[in-house]
Amino acid sequence: MVKEKKDSQDSKETKNDEKNGQNADPQLFWKITTGILLVILIYLAFFKQAGIQIPDQPSVPQPSQPDQPDQPQLADTTNDPAMKLTIVKPKDCKTCDTSTVEQALNKLFPKTQITYLDYESSEGKALVQQVKANALPLYVYDTAVSQGANFAQASQAFVKEGEYYVIPSAVVGASYVLNPPTADDDAFKGNANAPVTIIEFSDFQCPFCKRFYEDTLPQLLKEYVDTGKAKFVYRDYPLDFHPQAQKAAEAAECAGDQGKFWEMHDKLFENQQSLSVENHKKWATELDLDTTKFNDCLDTGKNAEEVQKDLAEGSAAGVSGTPGFFVNNQIISGAVPFAVFKEAIDAELAK
């Protein structure tokens, strides 16, 4: 799922969220988008050399649009040396499909020989540690890639780590993190000791977060949370271009101080078009909260730091848009269908 915060079309709503919720088949879209973004970054040097102005945050071109600007031609790779690409991923990661990235790399470096390593193997863990990675799948080339005819153009997509050339997750996205965020002290539903933890990083003003709340969350609660198989944690990720998101998050936290986080959580999503401090206070009254304490909490920004703490920890873990999820170590981005969660959760339960 690729980083976001201001301008990609499917997980950065209209700058962050829209990248997460527009497509009928989000998993397919992400696979296509990953490949496209990789190619865009690899061709970046070409565009600069040609004097073409590139926006700071380019929109992702849609595969269905035929009239995109011509891309630079790839170099002749006849004399390329054989090069080794090692891909490390957990064998039971249901979200770790590497096929699209492999196809893109094979076009640039057709003499690539791929070796797959299970992260749980000693070799896999050693390589991950050696290149200081925290996200998988991991793509690691040997030094021969630097002799490839297309390497000069592709160099901005690589990071040199010792004797290896690594493609960072910022370029190709990540599906699995080695150090996922914790539940912290945030509100959760379900059994505290459930074998699976689902953490949502969300924004009360994000339309795709609301879509998840309406379409997918009820199924997750019924099948996995209410049955004790998973616990569901909500953490704040207010996007800076959503002017009401920060105070809405604070309102939920203030209600949580009085034991009614989820009641306010539901109010906020169900009244998403009416978010305002005035309405938050009105809803606090409807929820029978101590309004003096609630209003003071909201007006003084008592929980503003807590909200920003969630945002910082989410960003550090690789969240780039809303909604963003962690199913134990697996990453899911966007308002994807329930079936995507089901596959990831079932894989965790089968371990």
Crossing angle between the packed helical segments 245-256 and 304-316, to the nearest 10 degrees:
110
Residue with tokens 């070409």: 46
Higher pLDDT, 158 or 55: 158
> Rounded to an integer, what is the distance from CA 255 to the centroid of its chain?
28
pLDDT tens sequence across 84-120: 999 999 988 888 999 999 999 999 999 999 999 999 9
pLDDT tens sequence across 204-213: 999 999 999 9
Q: Does the predicted TM-score (pTM) go above 0.85?
A: no
In which residue ranges of the chain is CATH 3.40.30.10 found? 188-349
CA separation for the pair 211, 203 (Å, rounded): 12
CA separation for the pair 297, 304 (Å, rounded): 10
CA separation for the pair 142, 288 (Å, rounded): 63
Mention the CATH class of domain 83-177: alpha beta
Supply the pLDDT for residue 34: 45
Number of residues that this document lists for the chain: 351
Joined tokens for residue 86 = 């090692």
CA separation for the pair 43, 37 (Å, rounded): 10
pLDDT band at 316 (very low <50, low <70, confident <90, very high): confident
Domain made up of 188-349: CATH architecture:
3-Layer(aba) Sandwich (3.40)
